[in-house]
């Protein structure tokens, strides 16, 4: 990874105002080994902070249609989604949507059974929410981006909306493309995320959608938590999120090469499309005028994921013990090799006007 776009929640305060953005930037000062930009947030129908936040350089705004899991970050209803899209549209920034419909969610599970967690977040919740997102984007002319899609059943509706001219894009994540529900043991809360990892047939349908261009990009949705909060063995109480920044390239490449996907596709999904979404025109491609952000790696070499060797603050991984293809030998940020033992050379980035 050479560039991270930071999410607005799991920080206190969440990035809903310019003051909160500046507090986060101040906290990050002197600690960036890669370049970092920022998403902001809308948590109600009040959108008066959208313009100042865009002026301050954020790449777009995020909303939840279902409860976020943290009390300081409220979810929005249909009116809030429409208001966010209407406010963002004139500024040319996307609204990122956690798309699960609350009315379709089941009661929270208790205990170690993964099947109970899966049943509580059915594919129907994503399909219903995506329909709501499409309708709101169509009404407002705003750009809606569906975050971390796990339900392949939502893809036909998204494809139809895009064919009709609605501004909607969509992403998925390495965990949805590499893991499957049949392989998640009971008690393995390292794999808990929302929306959840679904069955193997759904995973293959996501791959088909990705290869057909119905899914725009693959992103980490990195959501860490201390081991005590993540490894509870209870899918009702464990933190819902996957830590995957450091493992994303080998995880995705291992799954991709098994399906005949080549490296150019990975570069488009992981670099070009996310940079375009975030409005970071200096990123995302090896080309004249772009930052010299490069990775040297051996696609045929293998590694076994050892959480103890990860540089994540919280070394928890659903891929622990797995043998993966693709060993990274070095990363260059703007032409300078990243050295975690040396001074941090990362910069804070603003969305570029006109992107």
Query: 74-109: per-residue pLDDT in tens?
Result: 999 999 999 999 999 999 999 999 999 999 999 999
Q: For residue 353, what pLDDT is reported?
A: 72
Beta-carbon count within 10 A of 328 CB:
15
Q: Which helix (H) or strand (E) holds 329?
A: strand 323-333
The reported pTM is 0.97
Across residues 132-159, what is the average pLDDT? 98
Q: For residue 116, what pLDDT is reported?
A: 98
* DSSP 8-class letter at 58: -
Question: Looking at the predicted structure, is the pLDDT value of residue 4 above 70?
Answer: yes
> What are the chain's domains?
3-290 (3.20.20.140)
Query: 291-348: per-residue pLDDT in tens?
Result: 999 999 999 999 999 999 998 889 899 999 999 999 999 999 999 999 988 899 999 9
Query: 25-59: per-residue pLDDT in tens?
Result: 999 999 999 999 999 999 999 999 999 999 999 99
Q: For residue 315, what pLDDT is reported?
A: 87
Beta-carbon count within 10 A of 353 CB:
11
Question: Looking at the predicted structure, is the pLDDT value of residue 354 above 80?
Answer: no
Across residues 153-173, what is the average pLDDT? 98
- Report the chain's mean pLDDT, rounded to a whole number: 96
Judged by DSSP in three states, 219 sits in coil
Q: Which DSSP string do the residues of 278-294 spell out, in sequence order?
A: HT-TTSSS-STTS---E
| Paired residues of 146 in beta bridges | 97, 170
Q: For residue 79, what pLDDT is reported?
A: 97
* Residue 121 neighbours by CB under 8 Å, 6+ apart: 100, 105, 106, 194, 195, 196
Record the tokens describing residue 235, joined without a space.
């899918």
Contact indicator for 148, 171 with CB cutoff of 8 Å? yes
Output b/e per residue, 66-86; b: 16+ Cβ within 10 A.
bebbeeebbbbeeebbbbbbb
């Amino acid at each position: 990874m050479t560039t991270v776009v930071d999410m607005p929640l799991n920080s206190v305060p969440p990035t809903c105002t310019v003051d909160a953005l500046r507090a986060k930037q101040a906290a990050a000062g002197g600690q960036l080994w890669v370049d970092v930009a920022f998403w902001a947030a809308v948590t109600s129908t009040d959108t008066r902070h959208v313009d100042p936040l865009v002026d301050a350089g954020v790449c777009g705004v995020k909303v939840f249609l279902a409860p976020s899991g943290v009390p300081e970050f409220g979810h929005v209803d249909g009116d809030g989604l429409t208001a966010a899209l209407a406010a963002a549209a004139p500024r040319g920034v996307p609204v990122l949507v956690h798309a699960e419909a609350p009315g379709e969610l089941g009661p929270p599970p208790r205990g170690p059974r993964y099947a109970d967690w899966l049943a509580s977040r059915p594919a129907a919740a994503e399909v219903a929410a995506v329909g709501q997102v499409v309708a709101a984007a169509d009404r407002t002319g705003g750009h809606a981006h569906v975050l971390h899609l796990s339900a392949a059943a939502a893809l036909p509706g998204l494809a139809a909306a895009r064919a009709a001219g609605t501004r909607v894009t969509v992403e998925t994540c390495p965990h949805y493309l590499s893991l499957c529900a049949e392989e998640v043991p009971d008690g393995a809360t390292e794999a808990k995320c929302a929306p959840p990892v679904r069955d193997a047939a759904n995973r293959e349908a996501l791959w088909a959608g990705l290869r057909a261009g119905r899914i725009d990009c693959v992103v980490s949705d990195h959501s860490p938590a201390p081991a005590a909060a993540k490894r509870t063995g209870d899918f009702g109480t464990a933190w819902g999120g996957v830590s995957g920044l450091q493992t994303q390239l080998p995880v995705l490449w291992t799954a991709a090469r098994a399906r005949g996907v080549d490296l150019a596709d990975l570069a488009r999904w992981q670099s070009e499309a996310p940079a375009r979404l975030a409005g970071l025109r200096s990123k995302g491609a090896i080309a004249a005028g772009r930052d010299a952000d490069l990775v040297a790696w051996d696609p045929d070499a293998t590694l076994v994921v050892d959480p103890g060797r990860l540089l994540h603050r919280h070394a928890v991984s659903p891929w622990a013990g797995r043998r993966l293809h693709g060993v990274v030998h070095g990363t260059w940020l703007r032409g300078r090799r990243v050295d975690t033992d040396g001074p941090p050379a990362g910069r804070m980035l603003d969305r570029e006007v006109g992107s």
